[in-house]
Amino acid sequence: MNRLDGKVAFLSGAARGIGGATAKRMVEAGAKVVIGDVLDEVGARHAQSIGATYVHLDVTQEASWAAAMDATIKAHGKLDVLVNNAGIFVGKGVEDASLDDWHRLVAVNLTGVLLGTRAALPHLKKTKGNIVNLASIAGLVGSQLDPLYSLTKGGVTLFTKSAALEFARKGYRVRVNSIHPGVIQTDMGDQTFVSRARNLATNDVDAVRDIARKTHPIGRLGVPEDIAKGILYLASDDSAFMTGAGLVVDGGLTAQ
């Protein structure tokens, strides 16, 4: 189950966090893995430690995607899986976020996904490969912490379905699915605790983390490996009948 033997996978934003854990799982599942990130030192170190390759990638730049895809094809000859994982969170309300904050969110969370999809598509058409997009529970239900983040992740949710339909109509046999994590303990997860604390006018981030934990019926916060396992399933042939779908991995949060 969930094997990627002989497959080549590219993951954006995988120097750390969910992408970092997924890259590791994919190597263990038999894939050749390439990581692209802006955190060059951290990314190169992580890639070396798990047996992956690192390339510099700024997902907001078309030329950067072209170079990353060229490097992947040069190293491994093909591409089977793209994970559009890079994402940012600003943690500010509608009245507090600046226009620059919004433009940054759009550039990474939306333009990054579009550019990645376009850059990888010619290669995925050849291998009948697939794309996994990191959306969020904030792309399914509202987020009182960061409505602008939610606006971008809602876009990722519906772009996933639309791209899946377009590629199916054109006969490409390229599947596109999304994954929707609850609160996961990563650097971004920590950012959500800090904004929650600010909203509650407290400095007690541990107490706030406990409040966040209690919103997850399963009784704990998520860890990157929880999401990595879901991404691996979507990327593998075990999910061959899934396209345009969203896999919710949120400890029951949105079941309420």
Beta-carbon contacts of residue 69 (< 8 Å; ≥ 6 apart): 10, 79, 119, 120, 123
Each residue 61-100 as x (binds ligand NAD by CB under 6 A) or -, in order, gives ------------------------xxxx------------
Q: Which is nearer to ligand NAD, 46 or 76 (CB)?
A: 46
Catalytic residue among 54, 149, 172, 233: 149
13 binds ligand NAD (CB under 6 A): yes
50 binds ligand NAD (CB under 6 A): no
**Closest separation in Å from C-beta 28 to ligand NAD:** 18
Q: Which is nearer to ligand NAD, 56 or 173 (CB)?
A: 56
39 binds ligand NAD (CB under 6 A): yes
Count of residues touching ligand NAD (by CB under 6 A): 28
Binding residues for ligand NAD restricted to 142-181, rule: CB under 6 A = 181
Helix (H, G, I), strand (E, B) or coil at 12: strand
Helix (H, G, I), strand (E, B) or coil at 202: coil
User: For the chain, how long is the longest CA-to-CA vector?
Assistant: 54
Q: Which helix (H) or strand (E) holds 34?
A: strand 32-37
User: Are 192 and 89 within 8 A, CB to CB?
Assistant: yes
What are the residues facing 127 on neighbouring strands? none
In DSSP notation, 111-134 reads: IHHHHHHHHHHHHHHHHT-EEEEE
> Is 54 one of the annotated active-site residues of the chain?
no
**Closest separation in Å from C-beta 41 to ligand NAD:** 11
Residue burial 19-42, b: 16+ Cβ < 10 Å; e: rest: bbbbbbbbbebebbbbbbbbbeee
Cα distances (Å, whole numbers) of residue 93 to 150, 184, 186, 195, 200: 11, 21, 21, 10, 13
- Rule CB under 6 A: choose which of 27, 28, 38, 125 binds ligand NAD: 38
Q: Which is nearer to ligand NAD, 106 or 242 (CB)?
A: 106
Each residue 187-216 as x (binds ligand NAD by CB under 6 A) or -, in order, gives xxx---------------------------
Question: Where on the chain is the footprint of ligand NAD (CB under 6 A)?
Answer: 12-13, 15-19, 37-39, 57-60, 85-88, 108, 134, 136, 181, 183-184, 186-189
Residues designated catalytic: 149
